[in-house]
A = this chain, B = another copy of it.
Amino acid sequence: MKAASDASFPGHGSLLEIAGITGVVMPIERNAEIFGQGEPAEYIYKITSGAVRTYRLLCDGRRQIDAFYLAGDMFGLELSDMHSYSCEAVTGAKIVFFQRSAILAAAQRDGEVARQLWELTARHLRRSQDHTLLLVKSSQERVASFLLEMARRLRETSTVELPMPRQDIADYLGLTIETVSRTLTQFEEQSTIEFLAARRIALLNPTLLKQLNS
């Protein structure tokens, strides 16, 4: 039996088609916590609509957003059975919950499932490494990379509809909210982008953005 979530993403070659495990679709409201750092990892998640953020806090309250997950993405899989980071909905979202234990059991039986689990983790590793590389760049380069990444992942070429507030972007890029705002304004002044709304941005000169991306 196919998982309910997979019907809407036929081309995605999901783990769950193969494992034959059914998940439960949960509607999650904006800013609701999906799981918290230190909690037992009971589920693995697939997001069918909306967006979520995973993050960690330093003792003094600084927040580092590790990743954003968008429609079609899976997240929440870790080696440990405790979550090492927290997860919240950025927007209202529909998320499919799958029993972690069932997935792991399926992986033990079926080598193809095991391979897809590994691929998922490997993809996350790759993304984490790209994120690390981002954090050594200038503020302009970081914001440019972010816009391009979002456009690519949302499958939007000329216009991006950002689901997250500026503060989330800042905490993802290791900048302050003011610097993010100023950098975007700067891009607008030089006609690299145009604001259709605060979170709806037209990429007028993607070539220039790509140059900044290195």
Which residues of A approach B to under 8 Å, CB–CB?
56, 58-60, 62, 64, 66, 78-79, 84-85, 107-109, 111, 114-115, 117-119, 121-126, 128-129, 131-133, 135-137, 174, 214
Contacts and interface: CB of A to CB of B under 8 A. Distances in A.
Main secondary structure of the interface of A (DSSP, over half): helix
Nearest to A59: B214
Contact of A114 (B64, B118, B133): B118
Contacts of A79: 118-119, 122-123, 125-126
Given A79-B119, A125-B125, A132 B135 contact: yes
Contacts of A124: 125
Contact of A132 (B108, B131, B137, B214): B131
A135 B78 contact: no
7 A-B pairs with the lowest CB-CB distances in the bound complex, closest first? A79-B122, A128-B128, A114-B114, A135-B135, A118-B118, A125-B125, A136-B174
A57 to B, nearest CB: 9
5 contacts: A60-B214, A66-B129, A109-B111, A121-B121, A121-B125
A104 to B, nearest CB: 9
A108 B110 CA distance: 9
Nearest to A137: B58
A20 B143 CA distance: 48
A106 to B, nearest CB: 11
A55 to B, nearest CB: 10
